Amino acid sequence: MSAENNDSLVISTDPLHPANLIPELCRSFYHLGWVTGTGGGICIREGDKVYIAPSGVQKERIEPTHIFVLPYPQAPSLHADRVFLRRPPVLKESACTPLFWNSFDIRDAGSCIHTHSQHAVMVTLLWTGPTFTISHQMIKGVRVAGTGNALSYLDTLEVPIIENTPNEEDLKDSMAEAMNRYPDAPGVLVRRHGVYVWGPDWQKAKTQTECLDYLFEIAVKMKLAGLPTVLNP
């Protein structure tokens, strides 16, 4: 069976099947303002298969039959190199694919979420250095990437910021470098663009993205109010 017609990979009555979950999550993220204008993306890895939302489709209207399925592992650095188990005709694969692969290969993630949240974008404009930092907030929902342990109220959260590029795929190397340089970071911000957040499964990736977005929003408000976002011990 060709990759174009392999519908058995995405047709399921199980509401927790990745091909059913991804449209549901994309609708939720759309209403949060994270994936407007067909932007942003999400992937879920289950065993040796990766399910990815398509590019160029309004996120609140994605259907299971729109989902791309790729085998894992592989090294999808260039379009020509990518192997597909299911590739819907007409639709375009997500430009996020190589960046999602960073989360699998470097963090052993089960899911990665990419948002264009305005809070994330504003953080990258107000924090002009290589990282965003905040402390003494309710950051217990954020997990240390290396251990999975929750941060505490007294900890300082540090998220690396990388510079944007005209083509999203070109962020792959700088994102990987930031992930290796900041092994505890739960995500990577992209200046003037958004954020990538991962987790061992879709539930934890979603929870972590929500927690980070809350912290980005409150940090922006604190910064604009002239309040420090990191306090001395």
Sheet holding 49-52, edge to edge: 68-71, 49-52, 41-46, 111-115, 194-199, 187-190, 156-162, 131-135
**Which fold is adopted by the domain 3-224?**
L-fuculose-1-phosphate Aldolase (3.40.225)
> How many Cβ atoms from other residues are within 10 Å of residue 35's Cβ?
28
**pLDDT tens across 29-49, in order?**
999 999 999 899 999 999 999
pLDDT band at 101 (very low <50, low <70, confident <90, very high): very high
What's the angle, vertex CA 139, arms to CA 154 and CA 104, rounded to 5? Answer: 120
Which pTM was predicted?
A: 0.94
The answer to whether the annotation marks 116 as part of a ligand binding site is: yes
**pLDDT tens across 58-78, in order?**
999 999 999 999 999 997 665
- Which residues does 180 contact at the CB level (< 8 Å), separation at least 6? 106
Helix (H) or strand (E) holding 202: helix 202-224
Per-residue pLDDT, averaged over 117-135, amounts to 97
Task: Look at residue 10 in the predicted model and tell me its pLDDT.
Answer: 96
| Coil, helix or strand at residue 109 | coil
The answer to whether the annotation marks 193 as part of a ligand binding site is: yes
